[in-house]
Amino acid sequence: MFENHTILVTGGTGSWGQEVIKQLILQNPKEIRVFSRNETLQVEMAQQFKDHHQIKFIIGDIRNQEELINACEGVDIVYHLAALKHVPVCENHPSEAFKTNVHGTQNVINAAIKNNVRKVVYLSTDKAADPSNIYGMTKAIGEKLMIYANTKNVMTRFICVRSGNVLGTSGSVVQVFKNQINNSRQIEITDRRMTRFFLTMEQSVQFLFKATKEGKGGEIFVMKMPACKIDDLAHVLIDESGYENIQIKEVGIRPGEKLNESLFSESESTRTKLINHDYFVILPTVPVEGLNDYYRSYENADSRGYHSETEPMTKEEIREMLKMGDLL
């Protein structure tokens, strides 16, 4: 699918970006362009991938449209992964979140159209479904911008992928809990009732590639993924740590945080299709030529939506998931 293609990855030095690039290398692309504003991580990645000469590093910011236009020249596929993603940071700096997650996304769209890029795949989040915080709101707007771009009668096709929490990413809850266990012998949980969707990084990137291959443009792809109680996750990590008398302290939900998450809402369910019982496709509210006809024969999704509290994993299933993600 990627052989002899030129691919641009915005936010390419992040956890997602690095895994995307690791898996892309195996597909024999012509060139992979790593676009980010983090000079230090680019230097580190250049050392890590020093034997892969098809990787090119570009210092740039998605807030700068001209830098993106230059970076997109001759590109076949763009993976738009760059974002401000931490809920508390976005809550405290809403204008910065808007500049990066909304204006930056529109800049990616404009640069792709100008350069006749074939496909743009936008990484979104479960927090964009019925959003309750600045991060989720800006990512939901980003989805809307991407979907709407398919109505402009241009060559480029724009596809969205909604993900849950990915195990092992920087600042993920598993890393936070492990650090708290090792450093303070205490885990801080905002609310013991809280549930979240999880999947491994490898699974996430494989689904991103699947959406790239199968997406027609205008869809939001949603992978079926397991959910767990954060309290159960904490207990599994405590059990596996080997330490005794680790305390769990409940500190209260942070501003903008939800008790449970949704991968698609009840209102979105009326235009959501179940594909091969493996994943969902949310169809757009704006008309995209041929899209509804293409998906017409697929089964409709559950009208109640897709929520993290519905079928949480057992502790043993959580343990197996962590092992699969090389986190135990």
Which has the closest alpha carbon to 230: 292, 160, 313? 313
Question: Would residue 125 count as lying in a domain?
Answer: yes
What is the mean pLDDT of the segment spanning 181-210?
Answer: 94
Residue 247 phi/psi, 5° resolution?
Answer: -95, 150
| 6 and 29 Cβ atoms separated by less than 8 Å | yes
Domain with 270 in it: 6-164+199-224+263-304
Q: What is the pLDDT of residue 254?
A: 87
> Per-residue confidence at 241, pLDDT binned at 50, 70, 90?
very high
Q: What is the pLDDT of residue 81?
A: 98
Question: Would residue 310 count as lying in a domain?
Answer: no
What is the mean pLDDT of the segment spanning 232-236?
Answer: 96
Question: Would residue 270 count as lying in a domain?
Answer: yes
Q: What is the pLDDT of residue 298?
A: 96
Count structural domains, the chain.
1
DSSP E strands, the chain = 6-10, 31-36, 55-59, 77-80, 119-125, 157-163, 165-166, 186-189, 195-199, 220-223, 227-229, 247-250, 262-264, 272-275, 279-282, 299-300, 306-307
Question: Would residue 193 count as lying in a domain?
Answer: no
Answer yes or no: 127 catalytic.
Answer: yes
Q: What is the pLDDT of residues 288-323, one digit of tens each?
A: 999 999 999 999 998 888 999 999 999 999 999 999
Q: What is the pLDDT of residue 328?
A: 85
For residue 40, the domain's CATH number is: 3.40.50.720
**The one catalytic residue among 119, 127, 139, 273:** 127
What is the mean pLDDT of the segment spanning 187-210?
Answer: 94
Provide the whole-model pTM.
0.94
